[in-house]
Each structure stands twice: as C-alpha cells, then as structure tokens.
Amino acid sequence: MELNRRTVIAGAAAAGIAATTLGTTQTSAAAAAGAQAASATSGGRKPVKELFGTLADGTKIYRWSLVNGGTRLKVLNYGGIVQTLEVPDRRGHCANVVAGFDNIADYVAKSPYFGALIGRYGNRIGKGRFTLDGKSYQLSVNDGVNSLHGGKQGFDKHVWDVEPFAEGSDVGLHLHYTSVDGEMGYPGTLKAKVTYTLTRHGEWRIDYEATTDKATIVNLTSHVYWNLAGEGSGTIEDHELRIAASRYTPTDSGLIPTGELAKVAGTPFDFRHAKPIGRDIRAGHVQQVQAKGYDHNWVLDKGITARPEHVVTLRDPRSGRTLKIATDQPGLQFYSGNFLDGTLTGTGGHTYRQGDALCLETQHFPDAPNHANFPSTVLRPGQTYRTTTIHTFEA
C-alpha cells in the first residue's frame, strides 16, 4: 500500500529528517568478492556491510548484502528496507524483482514504502482512533483522516540496529527498533525484532517479534513491491496470481473495512484459481473503482495457524519466475500498484507507472481494533508477538 495512495508524501518533513549527501551505491570489490564466494549449499558468508548514504542530521545509512541458495538480497538499516532482491529465471539469468531507489534521498523524501518494514500497525486504522481497555487513543493521521502504516513516522522512517549473522547453512540480519510509549499515539514501549534469513535453498524468511510494557496493538508486515519479470520491466497485469481465500474485507471510500467478510465467488476478487491479474482488474466493480484497482485484504481460508502455510502463488509466464508465500497470519493485502504514476525512477533507471509492481502483505486485518469480528491485534505485557512469513522462489 502507498502513503495516501493518491499522493506520495514526503515523510521526511513530518519526521524532521532529510537526506543530503549520498554515500556510494556501488558494491565494493571486497563486498562483491564476498558475495560471489557465498555457497548455495553450505550457507553464505556473513553479510557484507557498506555505506549507502547520509541523512541530514549526519546519521549514516548502511546497506547489507546477503547471498545464499541463488538469492541475493540487499537491505538498508533505514526502515529495514529491502532495496534489491535478485533471483534467477528459467534460464538461470538473475534479475532484481523488487521496486526501489538507488539513493537514500528518494527513500526519505518520496518513497511509497518501497521494501520497508511496516509498524506499529500495518495498513489503515479508521480516523486514527481505537479504544483499548476502555481508554481511547488518537493516532497520527497521514492518509486523509485515517492512520496508515503507523502514522507520519512509522517504523519505515526509523534507523534500525542491525546484527548480521551466518549460522549453519543460513545467513541473515537481526533488526531491532524500540518504539517509545506514545510514539505516533500508540500506548506502551514496544521492543521490536525482525529477522531476515536467506536459507540454503534461497528462501527469504521474515520472523517478527515484539514485546510491550503496556497493552497496545501490533500488526507488523513487509511492504515489498514485486515484479517477477524484473524491476522496471513494465506491467504486472500478465502475472498469474492465486490466493487461498474465499472471502475479502470490502472497504468504504477511504479504504477502511466496513466489517463485512464478503465472498469472492462471482466477483473480480476471486483468485482461488490462478488467473492473470489484468483479467478482471477493470471489471468496474464498485470496490475496484474506489481503490483504482486491487487494494484489499483477503481473508485467508486457513485462518491463524501455528506455523506458516502456503497461501499465495505469483508467477510471471515470461521469465518463469514463481513466488510462493507461506504465512501464519490470517490476512493478505494485495495491492496492484494503482497509484504509481510515472514520477518515481527506480534502481534500474526506469520510471514506475501504474501497475508496474504489486504488493502482497501478510497481516492481520486493517482497522481490526475497531471491529470485534476481526482477529485481535492486542498485545499485552508478558506476551510476545510472533509471526513468520516465508518467500520461496522457483523458475
């Protein structure tokens, strides 16, 4: 989902942070050598760190490069952003399959959450308000009258502490951020830990954890924009998508769920069997007209599960690349890149137009704190929030 979906907001202004000078975005010889030496069978070497840029306040932004099992991942400590993710096609040719920028200035000033970690609450909360244990809270609003992705300075706009690791056949990063009581209006000091792991098979696994000292709400997710044909290569409407969901949550004109769990049968929202995204995207359904495409939460048939289960398959017929997503979460937000408008230039030098990338965000439901029939997102002291999403790549 994009900030305000209709406009790209310069979050730096609200955050009081701006980017000025840039560090090198070229991988050093040492980093390249380390990446090439990574083994697909016995585990890659410890992630390689390099300077990516500098914020206006002098804070240095670093990029870590990870390689394992044929997958190459580059991550920033700013927002936990996945800047690039490379996987091979059916002929073994690697390409970056996620949207992003080649400089920190663009991430700070105008990114629509490209590749970022989202918190405290992924997706929207109506009018930025909710009540917990009889007390009402007013959150930061940044999407008209609503709060989106944690408010004006969500987790995507903070610098995270990063610990690289290489354990057995896995390589990865532990990312840490502490959100203080009252930040963006949320109660409780929340300590968040997110682990990115590349396995020997090239899977990208995300493990989220969080604890709090006061009752609060939490809904963490990842906001990667995918194009399996390659970043900047054009439309994703020919991608074939399958979602294991018989229902979705319709929204009002502000994209806030109405509370209904509607059946997908007989509607353009039926992806129970794989179909090209473009087949029904202009069907004229009132929900599509409001969202200018797909920008909705699917209610996964499996519900909340003890371990991740396969719920989504995305395939690009041109390259043969296939992405399979497994999660323990009850919902999935599918966003079809409706408000990419040609004003953003990506890592490959191409501009992003409407439908040039898509998001598949595993999550609890939008606005859940205001709907008693939605799965709860409440976290209390003594509890640990845990959830896992696994991305598997094939060709």
**Percentage of residues of the chain with pLDDT beyond 70:** 89
User: What CA–CA distance (Å, rounded) separates 375 from 297?
Assistant: 13
Please tell me which residue in 149, 158, 361, 391 is annotated as part of the active site. Answer: 361
Number of Cβ within 10 Å of residue 167's Cβ equals 10
Which pLDDT belongs to residue 45? 82
In degrees rounded to 5, what are phi and psi of residue 217? Answer: -120, 145
Phi, psi of 52 (to 5 degrees): -110, -35
What does the DSSP 8-state code read for residue 350? P
Q: Does the annotation count 2 as an active-site position?
A: no
Structural contact between residues 352 and 232, judged by C-beta atoms closer than 8 angstroms: yes
Determine if the peptide bond prior to 242 is cis (ω within 30°).
Answer: no
Residue 312: predicted pLDDT: 98
31-43 pLDDT, tens digit each: 333 434 333 334 5
Residue numbers in the chain where pLDDT is lower than 70: 1-44
Active-site residue identified among 223, 239, 364, 391: 223
Residue 43: the pLDDT is 53
Q: Taking the model in full, what pTM does it have?
A: 0.90
Instruction: State the pLDDT at residue 27.
Output: 35
pLDDT of residue 14: 34
> Is 223 designated active site?
yes
